[in-house]
A = this chain, B = another copy of it.
Amino acid sequence: MHDLSGVLNYIDAERDNALQRLFDLLRIESISTDPAYNAQCTAAADWLVDDLNSIGFNATRRDTDGHPMVVAHTPGGTGPHLLFYGHYDVQPVDPLELWHSDPFAPALEDTALGKVIRGRGAADDKGQLMTFIEACRAFKVVSGELPANITILLEGEEESGSPSLVPFLKANADELRCDLALVCDTGMWNDKTPAICTMLRGMLGEEITITAADKDLHSGMFGGPAQNPIRVLTKLLAGLHDDSGRVTLPGFYDDVPPLPEQIAQQWQSLEFDASEFLGAVDLSVVAGEQNHTALEQIWSRPTCEFNGITGGYTGDGFKTVLPSKANCKISFRLVGQQDPVKIRQSFRQYIESNLPEDCSVEFADHGASPATVMSIDNPAFERAREELGREWETEAVYTGCGGSIPVVGYFHELLGMESLMIGFGLDDDQIHSPNEKYNLSSFVKGTRSWARVLASL
């Protein structure tokens, strides 16, 4: 057996050194989307390779067409084979004038809500990935070995669309395929309650362009007998939801499972404050599907949303044009077993079969990914949940996520792995914004949490 209490004590004693290591990593300006920072991205990868090698991993920098991957293996590891995923790249820092300190001069700050690590990447994702590496370091020092066979994959393009990820996973599938993935890019429910995210909504992106006349017309000359594509488009879009907020496409809800009782009860107990959630953006009433709470809607219900619409004259003033074309970008968030391909077909069929004479439609495909729903029957989930509760002294909850974390889908699709999504970020971490921070408690107790979870798996 591993000396878990020895490991936890070491983590506490090593705290300041661990912080210095994180600060070293945070000082590297690894902004992946801006080619001006290419060398810094490579430097961050090299720093991680060196650090992982220093604690006994067999780590290498693996170059791609974009920024490099870091891959590390435990030599001769035993126990379950786990793949840890994180990313070392960060978001740009503009607008720089809104930062209260240099985004790449990390520091510990006292705030009204406790000590925080301030700097770009503190929470997303350098701070989070270092919680895992520091837990591994503690095991190596205290026990001489890790409690599992661990592979680490660190990406440098997460904030810029991950163009190299799928090719890399495909090319290295045998090397990277494990029993379970650990993904540290999510958050806690609140600063006291740890969480495991088990549901990510999928997404289907569609764009339609309706064309009527072959040129813009004058509404005085043609207004009436000529089809107006804005009018056609608005009528088609208005038909996509019924009065109860449900999507009207035939079969849309066929593969939407009811919420498992255990999950429903947990979510109920979270006492999610919809008024506060909506109040933050100046809304007050839960819209959307009737008879579903806000939390249910965001985490477990599918949606059809219009993300952009344009047609005709949209500048200042007024023009009485009857436009030739009108366009809308539409996204469907998907849950359960909803099949993006079937839903795309159903959507296109709805549009085509309701299109009036003299109108044509063009569709553009903006991607499709199914929802990811982890099977919490896997005992690793309950074990991890218990250990998180032990560390934070508050029972950990299974949560959903309204958005998607593409890598989790790729692990499932390409490597046949489920992902245990554990993270210690908080809603007020200001990731992607000025003054990003990571609570010191997230960092320290996050590290201790990983130690407990690793020991339990």
Contacts and interface: CB of A to CB of B under 8 A. Distances in A.
A305 B228 contact: yes
Nearest to A206: B318
A308 B319 contact: yes
Interface string A367-410: 10000000000000000000000000000000001111000000
A317 interface: yes
Interface in A223-256: 223-228, 230-231, 233-235, 237-239, 241
B318 A366 contact: yes
B220 A306 contact: no
A54 interface: no
A283 interface: yes
Contacts of A320: 203, 205, 305, 307, 331
A35 B288 CA distance: 53
Given A230-B328, A309-B311, 14 more contacts: A220-B402, A222-B281, A224-B288, A224-B289, A224-B298, A225-B288, A225-B294, A226-B278, A234-B234, A305-B322, A306-B311, A307-B318, A308-B323, A319-B329
A314 interface: yes
A358 interface: yes
17 contacts: A203-B320, A213-B283, A219-B331, A219-B333, A220-B333, A222-B298, A223-B331, A223-B333, A223-B402, A225-B294, A230-B237, A234-B306, A307-B323, A308-B319, A309-B309, A318-B331, A319-B329
A237 B238 CA distance: 9
Q: How many copies does the complex hold?
A: 2
A326 interface: yes
Given A219-B307, A312-B309, A357-B285, A224 B402 contact: yes
How many residues of A sit at the interface, in one of the four size bands? 35 or more
B225 A297 contact: yes
Contact of A308 (B277, B281, B321): B321
A283 B358 contact: yes
Contact of A310 (B207, B214, B284, B310): B310
A150 interface: no
Contact of A218 (B286, B319, B328, B403): B403
Q: Among A226, A366, A404, which residue has the most Cβ atoms of chain B within 10 A? A: A226
B318 A205 contact: yes
A297 B52 CA distance: 77
A448 to B, nearest CB: 29
A327 interface: yes
A282 interface: yes
- Listed from nearest, the 4 A-B pairs whose CB atoms lie closest are A220-B403, A224-B297, A238-B238, A308-B312
A315 to B, nearest CB: 8
Nearest to A320: B331
A287 interface: yes
A299 to B, nearest CB: 9
B214 A282 contact: yes
A220 B228 CA distance: 32
B231 A234 contact: no
A225 B278 contact: yes
